[in-house]
Structure 1
């Protein structure tokens, strides 16, 4: 009989995996929101008005939106852990080199790439938590990762990074957040694993039957519409 994560892995191991993914959520949202405190400095340097500068947030969301489905397919093909590391690493690298951008178009492209990385990470971020938990613990774990950790990263990007921008300048503060994301990706690469009995999470072939089953899943569409409403709000 196949054992569940609750019986085959220790209690401490599950919460260790949650801690690693939660760190990933903090780093992901930090590199999402850290651009906002730099708007004034970027606008002054690149001679853009506030609406044009603020459009950098929308460009991040453009990359974030278009990569969700490809990110999920990538996870199926190369496995959950590699996808987590690749997504967060890509976002971190994009923010790490943002300080080298010579003009607004270069920074705009950089933000789209960062959004793609964040999307790839979050495409399996929820799953990376839920595969380790069952029943009521799943709700608690997802609340800590998607709720608390997500909010901590956003708050750090909006508030803490305003002080770093003032002290170091945006060309140093943004790459600093990027380095933190890359470092977190390395930590996840070293420490994260999926439950031993869930072998398909290490990578599997993408089939038409699998795609049909996913696209025909009623609960999936309900979840998607709910998220659309939440992000819209």
Structure 2
């Protein structure tokens, strides 16, 4: 019996020793699905994802300045490709984990019509977008306004968030009547969670291909490599799809 206890104790210790943490930089639009995925990842593998969320452009600068992230889930495909080319990302590790969708959203039911005509009417005080210089969803919002011919007229009404989370917060708190946000922030399990929205047609803005990459700090680290593998699995992909993303 004593020998059995020793075996069980060694097995438990081995399992704990194998578990590790991975530091992940995650684009703000992917906050909600990543919270769910991180919880599932820890439960299924024993590894823990330490998640930081923010704007893609800001993360690029932090990574280049030595931030200790091991995995980067970007809001675009250009930034991970750039990091890979510059030697800050592991070559061959980059892949598309989601294709994002842009939505014009208001916390008020019935306020945004299903064709976005509210933008042309312009009868609102504030329109929220993420900083287009650092956030791909903000840049997409600018594209849409230019295509609709309302960019110049709406400029005085635009309020910018540092990232898509802050842009969403401006609208959800009523500081802006409407705003361009990520569909994943207002959509779950096939339905709009609240308010009113226009899901912008893909033809109106550049494809938001969101890539993940193993950063140099994560090379050879089991938890980092396990997370990237987990993101490609059916369980994680089901979560991603439930928040309105494509692949």
Interval containing the TM-score (normalised by the shorter chain): under 0.3
Structure with bigger gyration radius: 2
Structure that is richer in strand per residue? 2
TM-score when normalising by structure 1: 0.27
TM-score when normalising by structure 2: 0.26
Structure that is richer in helix per residue? 1
